[in-house]
Amino acid sequence: MTKACCPGSFDPVTNGHLDVVERASRLFDEVVVAVLENLNKRALFSVEERMEMLREATAHLEGVKVSSFQGLVTEFCKQEGADVIVKGLRAVTDFDYEMQMAQMNKRMGVETAFLAAKPDYTYLSSSLMREVVALGGDIDGLVPPFVLARLKDKMP
């Protein structure tokens, strides 16, 4: 039985995240999508809201569950019995930081596997989605429709 962990802030989930989770679910028996509860960082959506959106977006995927964690992702993986962290790599700009985290997480006992982001989604990030919606721009097709609706609801 192989189990992977896809950790992230998911504030909110984008189609880029979902592509990585979907592909991970084909490679591993089980996938736990883990929302970081970062007490030092102000998020637009609460952890519960982020988990709800992830649950709705991954409901069709067998073997995928959604959870949250505080502290080290490696500790969460060990508690969950996840052998590997799966992350998407969008561009070279991601590489340095992701490599650093992967090497530190390996030192703490958990491997990382990178999936190359789908070309259509390499420019996506949650922060860009938030900014474009806040400024009245169109992000149709870049996040699930119910995420777009919730983003619009959050805007003043």
Q: Which residues are catalytic?
A: 17, 41, 90, 126
Cβ 2 to ligand PNS shortest distance, Å = 20
Applying CB under 6 A, among 61, 84, 89, 101 the residue interacting with ligand PNS is 101
Indicate the residue among 8 and 148 with the shorter CB distance to ligand PNS.
Answer: 8
- Contact 75/36 with Cβ under 8 angstroms? no
Applying CB under 6 A, among 14, 15, 105, 112 the residue interacting with ligand PNS is 105
The DSSP result for 25-69, as a single string, is: HHHSSEEEEEEE--TTS--SS-HHHHHHHHHHHHTTSTTEEEEEE
Distance CA 72, CA 15 (A): 25
Indicate the residue among 72 and 149 with the shorter CB distance to ligand PNS.
Answer: 72
Applying CB under 6 A, among 5, 9, 88, 112 the residue interacting with ligand PNS is 9
What are the two backbone dihedrals, phi and then psi, of residue 2, each rounded to the nearest 5 degrees? -105, 140
Count Cβ atoms below 10 Å from residue 71 Cβ, excluding itself.
Answer: 9
Indicate the residue among 86 and 139 with the shorter CB distance to ligand PNS.
Answer: 86
Residue 12: asked if its preceding bond is cis (omega within 30°), the reply is yes
Within 72-91, the residues that bind ligand PNS by CB under 6 A are: 72-73
Residues at the site binding ligand PNS, with contacts judged by CB under 6 A: 7-9, 36, 72-73, 101, 104-105
